[in-house]
Chains A and B, each alone.
Chain A
């Protein structure tokens, strides 16, 4: 034990805050969440944790509504996230009460990141072990907006991103496959397929929310998700079969040369 990971507000000699880094580690162990922008829509997808057989499936959603036009998905400590979400909700209503306008997505992100930052520099507290994805449309604007915040209080805007356990694999998949101007269906498709890269058993373990400008958020029913999952798996199998048949012809000659 170096001693620099005891008090939160003490730097280690190489300029790091170990408690904050441990918070980031908690995020890396959390379930995966992704968010991506389509042309005029946003899709948020999260991996659900496996529930023990005898436990009632909780109604706690991993995708929370902060206001009618803002969604928040998170990875990391569930209980920490609950507090953070509540603070965000109160701020959203306060903003509306004081300024007669609903919050902008960036404002809310800045607020959440601000709260997270405060918990890295005050005494007697520990940082939030939570990364969040905040997504939505500013009221009267059709531009999709996706932001990410981290335990350190950093926030960034993204076209498509992932947080949590398998965020690296999911983000690489998104980097390879995301392109400008995706249609609504394409965006949903890409969201599901990138989650499939990282989720163990697909059906029932994915939660999906779709946002369109000026409309209520649509939480996709699990039956619908299952059909999309099936479509993707069929496509993958067809792809694999094609590759196999494409390779088999020259393959014969190669095997013969080896022998």
Chain B
């Protein structure tokens, strides 16, 4: 039972991932970070089958850094998303597919704009302005629908995120043990407290 949220603002992407690691009905850990830094301006949030998730994220990260070293080129969020999608698509048609759902938040340094991609284990890949993964999408998408606008500032995005957290607290029977929030913008990736 995990939850990933992300919203894109005018020059950043704000992401949040639930911080509990759960197995069955037991909470294993209250401060689990479900994100993997792919390069200086690309962050991958993942959830799904435990084990598959970290394995897949690390595999993607290793391949992205190998590509960067080979070609002396930093991959854009779109290229990263395409590569990740292709890996998921290949895996889907193998004997044991990865069951991983992903939000990919990035900042395209050449064009100076933020980008957000939603991917699931069936290798769907969509560019979206805001996204959720998990049951929380039932509650949070409507909030994003209501309050999102393309020129969100970071403060406004934080406010929307807080509305989501409140809603989840109110409506869902699950305690996520809080969220780890990160911002991807022109300066790279940083964690913030909400």
Q: Taking the nearest CB of chain A, how far is it from the CB of B51, in angstroms?
A: 15
Contact A89 B70 (CB under 8 A): yes
Asked if A96 and B69 make an inter-chain contact with CB atoms under 8 angstroms apart, the answer reads no
A59 CA to B73 CA, complexed, in Å: 12
**Across the interface, which residues of B come within 8 angstroms of A66, CB to CB?**
69
* One of B59-67, B74-82, B105-113, B169-177 at the interface: B59-67
State the main secondary structure of chain B at its contact with A: helix
Q: Which of A59, A65, A97 contacts B69 (CB 8 A)?
A: A65
Cβ of A80 under 8 Å from chain B: no
Min C-beta distance of A198 to chain B, whole Å: 27
* Inter-chain contact A93/B70, CB cutoff 8 Å: no
Interface flags for A56-68 (1: CB within 8 Å of B; 0: not) read 0001010001111
Chain A stretch 87-118: residues in CB contact (< 8 A) with chain B: 89-90, 92-94, 96-97
Query: Using Cβ atoms and an 8 Å threshold, which residues of chain A touch B69?
Result: 65-67, 89, 92
B22-63 vs A, CB cutoff 8 Å, 1 = contact: the mask equals 000000000000000000000000000000000000110011
Contacts of A93 in B (CB 8 A): 62-63, 65-66
Nearest CB of chain A from residue B188's CB, rounded to whole Å: 13
A186 within 8 A of B: no
Question: In the complex, A89→B58 CA distance in Å?
Answer: 16
A-B contact pairs, 23 of them (CB 8 A): A59-B72, A61-B72, A65-B69, A65-B72, A66-B69, A67-B65, A67-B69, A68-B65, A86-B70, A89-B66, A89-B69, A89-B70, A90-B66, A92-B69, A93-B62, A93-B63, A93-B65, A93-B66, A94-B62, A96-B62, A97-B58, A97-B59, A97-B62
